[in-house]
């Protein structure tokens, strides 16, 4: 089995055709590039980020409160 794979890989059936890199580079330069969108956050994204942060802070405070109550009850 290993000999079959070695023979198949040595035959290079997947070699790139001649001039492939040059054609691909020329095609990449000729293709118009799409403009990137702004990476700035929109107001609804800030609102959802703030809501998630508030929810996480609430859960953290709840955990600390329950830990103190449990420690005090002991």
Q: Name the residue ranges covered by the structural domains of the chain.
A: 45-74
Determine the Cα–Cα distance for residues 66 and 72; give it in Å rounded to an integer.
Answer: 10
- At residue 55, the pLDDT reads 97
- Cα–Cα dist 19/17, whole Å: 6
| pLDDT score at 57 | 97
| Residue-by-residue pLDDT tens, the chain, 74 positions | 677 878 777 776 677 788 989 999 999 888 888 887 777 778 888 999 999 999 999 999 999 999 999 998 87
Tell me what pLDDT residue 63 has: 96
């Amino acid at each position: 089995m290993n000999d079959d794979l070695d023979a198949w890989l040595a035959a290079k059936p997947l070699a790139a055709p001649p001039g492939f890199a040059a054609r691909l580079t020329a095609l990449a330069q000729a293709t118009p590039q799409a403009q990137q969108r702004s990476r700035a956050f929109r107001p609804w994204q800030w609102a959802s980020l703030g809501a998630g942060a508030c929810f996480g802070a609430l859960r953290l405070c709840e955990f600390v409160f329950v830990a103190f109550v449990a420690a005090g009850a002991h």
